[in-house]
């Protein structure tokens, strides 16, 4: 009888590729992307059936945070109902992002009864604007008692509504914020919206102060990249650890993983390309500007990148991207793995956040520019961002902390857990000269002095990229490279926005004061750059972030190195480290406490699930397989002894297998005992898990990999890395 692994292998090799229907016009010709892009998206700004007077009020409320009238909300409700029903929708839901890290939705039918109890299809203004899920049933960090169930979802006007299509039905999704009865944020979106508003206010003020009087708004822009793995679903369901935890808890490396660097940007296999083409189609219909797709470094790993857009919409889009990747993968009999480290020994997955700010007229504040005044403004903005990272490095590190990301950060495949800023050599030289009050001579250029005329003609791509930096300037944007692949980008974005607005507010006050004393704007900006670069120079690092030398150098510079999630999450309780979040109005003190409680409990729970899953697989699969192999080897040794044949090879093999098995058994028993003896204090529990139980589980995993390399494949009942990564 075929083993489950052999069955999965046979099925994967012989799968028929999925063929899906690409959109065609009435003549049977394939439609262009521009013809179906945004087909499943509804936004009041360009939707039919909404008068211009209503649009004006809604757009004003969107930009100013004001309220809209119920009458105008009713106009939108009727228009979106007609639009959704005409496209086959039968239900609507408030789509929100609780502190689970995923999205949530409760579906209600458009069905209602009129005064004669006749069925009608309707969505009221009230149902559009507000919902009432049970706030105590979602993660709340102890801020809600079981009997205090009331919570509210509130329509987010800035993010468009969209249709979620299923095989047999369609649902209208209304993006919403989620708050408690007392108005405390129980979601990821609400603090992000606050941070966007605050940064808009301070960045607009900055632009007005430096002479750009026509600027009315500054948008935070973001383009999120998404890495993921694909494996055949047959292998996935034969690996209980993948199903239970999202990652393999052990595995022997295959003989060829990524050593040849041949997978990165390599030709995309037909089955994967079919998946990618359907993924792009569905994302484009949702108005998500999926731009780039390619093979990533590790075998079986891929990446999707979006075009820049508003940060809040980009955060919503990334949640949809992750969900859509999983859905489309299933249609192609794949399982998409979004975990940061699904396989040991090869690169894990991250999510780079490309971040910038742009005015309502389309001017990017991080575009170097060619004119002297624009250069001064650019350098000032760069200095402000660097100072923000310097001051609030701990909070930024905390924002990317998770049990999955602990496997990546500092593992020579991702940025270290030390937060630093990469500027590139050209900008570093300019900033260094300004900091020290020295002349700067660009190679092949004139010598420039410390005044306004010392500004270089900085081209957009004047520097190489540094993949080892957690926060890197890349031409006309900063790239926050330390975010984990499963993570909602809303949390790190809210922290980054708050950090920048905190320093920007201080800078604006200084600029205003200095200008009133009669100084020129160029002089004021250059003085500001000098001030911030003197205080934040230690955080600038353009070298190899993977090196041990940098770890030692960073310690000398006094930079924090919060290695694990257990080290990073207590920052949420550090009032000195988080005061800027409260001061900027992005989080309330109680909301920070809520997030600490939720995140530390989540870390502990996920790790404990991993330990139990590992123990279960060892007891139910690895031990029986190994004992069977020992019996076979022992029988050979016995037979050869009776025949008086030397059995040194068999004895050596038997001893090695036996010793490894005994070590696994003893360590597994110790892991179970340690797990049972953990304290109830979540902080202490996390520290012990990170510092004691995780190293023990990794030792067990390494020994399981040793056994995998010794046992014959017919006895190893678990799909290997070779099968999962190379067969598709």
Residue 191 confidence (pLDDT) above 70: yes
Give the mean model confidence (pLDDT) for residues 595-618. 97
168 and 205 within one domain = no
The phi and psi torsions of 135 (rounded to 5 degrees) equal: -70, -20
Q: By the 8 A CB rule, do 329 and 226 touch?
A: no
pLDDT number for residue 465 = 57
302 and 214 within one domain = yes
Q: For residue 514, give every residue at least 6 positions away whose Cβ sits within 8 Å of its Cβ, in sequence order, or none.
A: 524, 527
Predicted TM-score (pTM) of the model is 0.93
Residue 449 confidence (pLDDT) above 50: no
Give the mean model confidence (pLDDT) for residues 273-284. 97
Residue 444 confidence (pLDDT) above 70: no
pLDDT band at 457 (very low <50, low <70, confident <90, very high): very low
Is 427 within the bounds of a domain?
Answer: yes
113 and 47 within one domain = yes
> How far apart are the C-alpha atoms of 418 and 405, rounded to whole Å?
13
Give the mean model confidence (pLDDT) for residues 216-232. 95
Query: What is the SS3 assignment for 447?
Result: coil
Give the mean model confidence (pLDDT) for residues 455-474. 65
What CATH code is carried by the domain that includes residue 152? 3.10.20.70
pLDDT number for residue 460 = 45
Residue 446 confidence (pLDDT) above 80: no
Q: For residue 448, give every residue at least 6 positions away whose Cβ sits within 8 Å of its Cβ, in sequence order, or none.
A: 433, 439, 440, 441, 442, 454, 455, 456
Residue 415 confidence (pLDDT) above 50: yes
Q: By the 8 A CB rule, do 571 and 557 touch?
A: no
Q: For residue 120, give every residue at least 6 positions away whose Cβ sits within 8 Å of its Cβ, in sequence order, or none.
A: 111, 112, 113, 114
420 and 400 within one domain = yes
**Alpha carbon 95 to its chain's center:** 19
Across the chain, which distance is largest between two alpha carbons, in Å?
Answer: 104
> How far apart are the C-alpha atoms of 701 and 248, rounded to whole Å?
10
pLDDT number for residue 68 = 86
Give the mean model confidence (pLDDT) for residues 298-308. 93
Q: By the 8 A CB rule, do 460 and 476 touch?
A: yes
What CATH code is carried by the domain that includes residue 353? 3.30.590.10
> How far apart are the C-alpha atoms of 497 and 200, rounded to whole Å?
9
Give the mean model confidence (pLDDT) for residues 359-375. 79
Residue 471 confidence (pLDDT) above 60: yes
pLDDT number for residue 516 = 93
Nearest alpha carbon to residue 485 among 414, 410, 547, 398: 414
Helix (H) or strand (E) segment spanning residue 95: strand 89-95
> How far apart are the C-alpha atoms of 171 and 85, rounded to whole Å?
9
Task: Using the 3D structure, point to which of 565, 600, 635 is the last residue of a domain.
Answer: 600
606 and 581 within one domain = no
264 and 123 within one domain = no
User: How many beta carbons lie within 10 A of that of residue 364, not counting itself?
Assistant: 18
> How far apart are the C-alpha atoms of 357 and 476, rounded to whole Å?
10
Is 204 within the bounds of a domain?
Answer: yes
Residue 89 confidence (pLDDT) above 70: yes
For the four alpha carbons of 309, 311, 313 and 318, in that order, the dihedral sign comes to positive
pLDDT number for residue 48 = 85
510 and 417 within one domain = yes
Is 356 within the bounds of a domain?
Answer: yes
> How far apart are the C-alpha atoms of 701 and 250, rounded to whole Å?
5
Q: 340-357: per-residue pLDDT in tens? A: 999 998 999 999 999 999
> How far apart are the C-alpha atoms of 100 and 28, rounded to whole Å?
44
Is 241 within the bounds of a domain?
Answer: yes
549 and 608 within one domain = no
> How far apart are the C-alpha atoms of 31 and 434, rounded to whole Å?
54
Is 371 within the bounds of a domain?
Answer: yes
Helix (H) or strand (E) segment spanning residue 201: helix 189-209
Q: For residue 204, give every residue at least 6 positions away whose Cβ sits within 8 Å of its Cβ, in sequence order, or none.
A: 215, 216, 217, 218, 359
Give the mean model confidence (pLDDT) for residues 479-493. 96
Nearest alpha carbon to residue 533 among 502, 507, 511, 562: 507
Q: By the 8 A CB rule, do 490 and 97 touch?
A: yes
> How far apart are the C-alpha atoms of 421 and 471, rounded to whole Å?
5
214 and 270 within one domain = yes
How many domains is the chain partitioned into structurally?
Answer: 3
637 and 493 within one domain = no
> How far apart are the C-alpha atoms of 278 and 298, rounded to whole Å?
23
* 223, β-bridge pairs: 354
pLDDT number for residue 463 = 52
367 and 220 within one domain = yes
The phi and psi torsions of 366 (rounded to 5 degrees) equal: -105, 15
Q: Would you tell me the crossing angle of helices 589-617 and 648-676 to the nearest 10 degrees?
A: 150
Helix (H) or strand (E) segment spanning residue 632: helix 623-642
> How far apart are the C-alpha atoms of 150 and 134, rounded to whole Å?
6
Mean pLDDT, the chain, integer: 91
User: Any idea which of 357-371, 449-463, 467-481 has the lowest mean pLDDT?
Assistant: 449-463
Task: Using the 3D structure, point to which of 140, 163, 184 is the last residue of a domain.
Answer: 184
DSSP letters along 407-421, please?
Answer: GTTTSSSS--SB--E
Q: Following CA atoms 723, 724, 726, 728 in sequence, which dihedral angle do they give, to the nearest 10 degrees?
A: 100
Residue 451 confidence (pLDDT) above 50: no
User: Any idea which of 6-20, 215-229, 624-638, 696-710 has the lowest mean pLDDT?
Assistant: 6-20
What CATH code is carried by the domain that includes residue 635? 1.20.120.1560
Q: By the 8 A CB rule, do 570 and 685 touch?
A: no
Task: Using the 3D structure, point to which of 184, 211, 238 is the last residue of a domain.
Answer: 184
Q: 119-148: per-residue pLDDT in tens? A: 989 999 999 999 988 767 787 777 655 556
Is 22 within the bounds of a domain?
Answer: no
Q: By the 8 A CB rule, do 41 and 161 touch?
A: yes
Residue 445 confidence (pLDDT) above 50: no
pLDDT number for residue 464 = 52
> How far apart are the C-alpha atoms of 388 and 634, rounded to whole Å?
66
Residue 461 confidence (pLDDT) above 90: no
What is the CB-side half-sphere exposure of residue 67 using CA atoms within 13 A? Answer: 3
279 and 203 within one domain = yes
Nearest alpha carbon to residue 224 among 537, 31, 481, 548: 481
Q: 8-35: per-residue pLDDT in tens? A: 899 999 999 999 989 999 899 999 999 9
| Residue range of the domain that includes 611 | 601-726
Give the mean model confidence (pLDDT) for residues 358-366. 93
Is 13 within the bounds of a domain?
Answer: no
Is 201 within the bounds of a domain?
Answer: yes
């Amino acid at each position: 009888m075929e083993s489950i692994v052999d069955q999965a292998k046979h099925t994967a090799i012989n799968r028929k590729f999925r063929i899906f229907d690409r959109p065609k016009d009435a003549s049977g010709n394939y439609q262009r992307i521009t013809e179906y892009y945004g087909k499943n998206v509804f936004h009041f700004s360009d939707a039919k059936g909404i008068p211009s007077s209503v649009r004006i009020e809604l757009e004003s409320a969107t930009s100013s945070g004001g309220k809209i009238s119920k009458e105008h909300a009713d106009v939108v409700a009727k228009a979106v109902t007609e639009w959704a029903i005409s496209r086959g929708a039968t239900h609507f839901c408030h789509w929100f992002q609780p502190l689970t890290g995923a999205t949530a939705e409760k579906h209600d039918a458009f069905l209602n009864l009129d005064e004669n109890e006749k069925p009608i299809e309707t969505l009221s203004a009230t149902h559009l604007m507000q919902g009432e899920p049970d706030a105590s049933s979602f993660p709340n960090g102890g801020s809600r008692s079981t009997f205090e169930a009331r919570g509210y979802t509130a329509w987010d006007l800035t993010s468009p509504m969209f249709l979620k299509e299923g095989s047999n039905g369609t649902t209208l999704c209304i993006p919403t914020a989620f708050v408690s009865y007392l108005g405390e944020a129980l979601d990821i979106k609400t603090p992000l919206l606050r941070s966007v508003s605050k940064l808009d206010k301070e960045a607009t003020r900055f632009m007005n102060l430096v002479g750009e009087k026509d600027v009315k708004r500054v948008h935070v822009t973001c383009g999120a990249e998404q890495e993921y793995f694909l494996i055949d679903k047959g292998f996935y369901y034969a690996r209980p650890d993948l199903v239970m935890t999202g990652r393999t808890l052990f595995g022997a490396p295959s003989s060829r993983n990524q050593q040849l660097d041949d997978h990165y940007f390599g030709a995309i296999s037909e089955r994967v390309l079919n998946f990618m083409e359907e993924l792009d189609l569905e994302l484009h219909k949702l108005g998500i500007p999926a731009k780039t797709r390619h093979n990533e470094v590790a075998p079986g790993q891929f990446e999707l990148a979006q075009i820049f857009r508003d940060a809040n919409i980009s955060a919503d889009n990334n949640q949809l991207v992750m969900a859509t990747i999983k859905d489309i993968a299933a249609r192609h009999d794949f399982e998409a793995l979004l975990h940061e480290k699904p396989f040991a020994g090869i690169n894990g997955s991250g999510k780079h956040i490309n971040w910038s700010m742009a005015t309502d007229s389309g001017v990017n504040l991080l575009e170097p520019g060619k004119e002297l005044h624009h250069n001064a403004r650019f350098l000032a903005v760069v200095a402000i961002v660097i100072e923000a990272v310097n001051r609030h490095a701990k909070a930024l590190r905390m924002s990317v902390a998770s049990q999955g990301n602990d496997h990546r950060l500092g593992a020579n495949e991702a940025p270290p857990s030390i937060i630093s800023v990469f500027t590139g050599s050209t900008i570093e030289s300019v900033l260094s000269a300004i900091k020290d009050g020295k002349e700067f001579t660009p190679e092949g250029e004139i010598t420039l002095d410390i005044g306004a005329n010392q500004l270089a003609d900085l081209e957009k791509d004047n520097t190489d990229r540094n993949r080892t930096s957690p926060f890197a300037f890349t031409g006309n944007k900063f790239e926050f490279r330390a975010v984990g692949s499963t993570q909602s980008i809303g949390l790190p974005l809210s922290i980054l926005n708050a950090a920048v607005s905190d320093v920007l507010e201080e800078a604006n006050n200084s600029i205003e004061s200095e200008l009133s004393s009669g100084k020129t704007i160029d002089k004021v900006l250059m003085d500001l750059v000098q001030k911030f670069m003197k205080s934040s120079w230690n955080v600038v690092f353009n070298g190899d972030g993977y090196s041990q030398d940098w770890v030692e150098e960073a310690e000398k510079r006094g930079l924090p190195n919060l290695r694990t999630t257990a080290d990073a999450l207590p920052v949420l309780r550090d009032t000195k480290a988080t005061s800027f979040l409260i001061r900027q109005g992005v989080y309330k003190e109680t909301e920070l406490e809520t997030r600490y409680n939720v995140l530390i409990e989540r870390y502990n729970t996920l790790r404990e699930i991993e330990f139990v899953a590992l123990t279960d697989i060892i007891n139910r699969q690895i031990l029986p397989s190994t004992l069977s192999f020992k019996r076979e080897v022992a029988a050979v040794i016995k037979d050869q002894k009776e025949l008086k044949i030397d059995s040194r090879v068999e004895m050596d093999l038997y001893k090695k297998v036996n010793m490894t098995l005994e070590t696994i058994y003893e360590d597994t028993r110790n892991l179970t005992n340690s797990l049972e003896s953990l304290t109830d204090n979540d902080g202490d529990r996390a520290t012990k898990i990170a510092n004691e139980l995780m190293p023990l589980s990794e030792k067990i995993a390494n020994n399981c990999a040793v056994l995998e390399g010794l046992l014959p494949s017919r006895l190893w009942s678990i799909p290997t890395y070779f099968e999962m990564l190379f067969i598709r």
